[in-house]
Amino acid sequence: MKARKISKSFPGVRALNEVDLEVCAGKVTAVVGENGAGKTTLMNILSGVYTEYDGELLLDGQKVSFQDTTDARRVGISIIHQELQLVPYMSIAENIFLGREPLKLGLIDYKTMQEKARLLLRKLGCDADVRKKISSLRIGQQQIVEIAKALSFDVRVLIMDEPTSALSESEINTLFVLIHSLKAKGIAIVYITHKMDELTLIADHVTVLRDGCAVGHSPVHKITIAEVVKLMVGRDIKDFFVKKQHDKGDVRLKIENLSLKKSGKSGAFLETISFKVHASEVLGLYGLMGAGRTELFETIFGLHRTPAAGTVFIDGKRVRINSPEDAVKAGMALIPEDRKNDSLVLNMSIARNISLASIGKVIRNGVVSKTLEQKQAEVYREKLNIKSYSSNQPVIKLSGGNQQKVVVSKWLVTDPKILLLDEPTRGIDVNAKNEIYKLIDELALQGMAIVVVSSELPEIMAISDRIITLCGGRLTDEFTRSEFTEEKILKAALPSS
């Protein structure tokens, strides 16, 4: 499939400017670029989501245009969306076969549908109950359902928009094995990612977008990662993150014997967890998916209604946290992993989303001051380079990574004593990641106590002073910075067999 001179504008921004892209049968073409470079927009055009654009699409040398996504699927083009588009109150099986349910005597044949869904999931190494509602699944599992759905069509060109951003290591490995088998069947794959190591692992060709223009194409073996990053950013990145030395202060947060029976979403539980975080310290929390990382944060933050056992001390004083409001009052902030459902009001502006969790700061004489709100937004728009035409732009019109930057800003504004970050850089480009690392370091330097969950070992090792590992709802080990090695940490996080 070929895209020729594709251009697309939105009010205030030229998202794509005469972009060419070629994808070949049996090959993986990676598309990379900074947040807001135009990757998702281009994929939306290839897959029939957007029908108005300039330029042309060619399939087997023939010009094609699509009325909608169904039209594109008919000729074999299927997309795995970056922002998942599943129906929350429907089951896994219903979502996969939405609008084309197998019928028997004119009625939906649930048995066949569920069986087919089960088979598809199994290929992806997932044995979830296909009758479960999407809303009861964690984001990583939802991602797998989205992938299964795309595979359930007869595909010739499969577009994957950041498929691994919410997956665990083992799920990623299963996906890569699957991609190899799809390649062997002659399927062309377009693969978007911010994880540069995935280029060498999975891609044959790479196309780099910058500010809506294609600035480079190359076979992967003929280009280095450094060259790709340079093309993406438009300059050499020299100011890579280097952690500063800082002395830790007094114990700020102390958790004692925290236990949680079972959480609705993943069935995970927590067993007598105890740890401390000091002021000016960054504590990394590493564990595989399902280890209970998110549950631990949620429990500390008062998000689980089932009473959890255990005690929480802040600055030496015992505090009771039964709701997120209590947590915020006690000086905590939580940046959650699922930005779309937990964090953003999509049709509100960037400025309002940023002020939402600390609205008191921008209230003057009893009303929200738009001027103050915008001033505050401008600071973060610049600091994190949130690509947008103004701070009044609704968040829904931002690219995925830029939405994540708004979430991060929103919680930083609350100026918490204790900051809990759950996968803070998911979907964020290489350059902006560095900015976030620097910001975390700066905040710690100013005295904040920070706990970070990340599935990326190099990331957590770069930013943490200390790392604790979690496995099956229990803390398994602890490492100081001088003890960090990938092997040790990974070993401590794996279930012992």
Question: Footprint of ligand ATP on this chain (CB under 6 A)?
Answer: 10, 13, 15, 33, 35-41, 82, 387-388, 397-402
Residue whose CB is nearest to Mg ion in the complex, by number: 40
What distances in angstroms separate CA 27 from CA 22, 23, 98, 182, 408, one per listed residue?
11, 7, 29, 9, 36
**Least Cβ distance, residue 80 to Mg ion (angstroms):** 12
d(CA 448, CA 86): 37
What distances in angstroms separate CA 335 from CA 280, 311, 380, one per listed residue?
18, 22, 16
Residues that contact Mg ion, how many (by CB under 5 A): 5
**Least Cβ distance, residue 397 to ligand ATP (angstroms):** 4
Contact 190, 24 (CB under 8 A): no
Binding of Mg ion at residue 336 (CB under 5 A)?
A: no
Binding mask 21-50 for Mg ion (x = CB under 5 A): ------------------xx----------
**Least Cβ distance, residue 35 to ligand ATP (angstroms):** 3
List 48, 140, 336, 400, residue binding Mg ion (CB under 5 A): 400
Token pair 């990326």 in the structure block, residue? 456
**Least Cβ distance, residue 428 to ligand ATP (angstroms):** 8
402 binds, among ligand ATP, Mg ion, none (CB under 5 to 8 A by kind): ligand ATP
15 binds, among Mg ion, ligand ATP, none (CB under 5 to 8 A by kind): ligand ATP
Q: Which residue number, 302 or 400, has a Cβ lying nearer to Mg ion?
A: 400
d(CA 86, CA 67): 21
Dihedral sign computed on CA atoms, order 158, 160, 166, 169 = positive
Q: What is the token pair recorded at 151?
A: 């595979």
Closest C-alpha to 278, from 457, 445, 88, 454: 445
Which residues are CB-contacts of 264 (< 8 A; sequence separation ≥ 6)? Answer: 136
Q: Which residue number, 358 or 431, has a Cβ lying nearer to ligand ATP?
A: 431
78 binds, among Mg ion, ligand ATP, none (CB under 5 to 8 A by kind): none
**Least Cβ distance, residue 437 to ligand ATP (angstroms):** 18
Residue whose CB is nearest to ligand ATP in the complex, by number: 401
Cβ neighbours around 487 below 10 Å, total: 8
d(CA 344, CA 441): 25
240 binds, among Mg ion, ligand ATP, none (CB under 5 to 8 A by kind): none
Q: Which residue number, 165 or 174, has a Cβ lying nearer to ligand ATP?
A: 165
d(CA 75, CA 156): 8
Closest C-alpha to 125, from 175, 72, 165, 88: 175
Q: Which residue number, 416 or 427, has a Cβ lying nearer to Mg ion?
A: 427
User: Residue numbers of the site for Mg ion (CB under 5 A)?
Assistant: 39-40, 82, 399-400
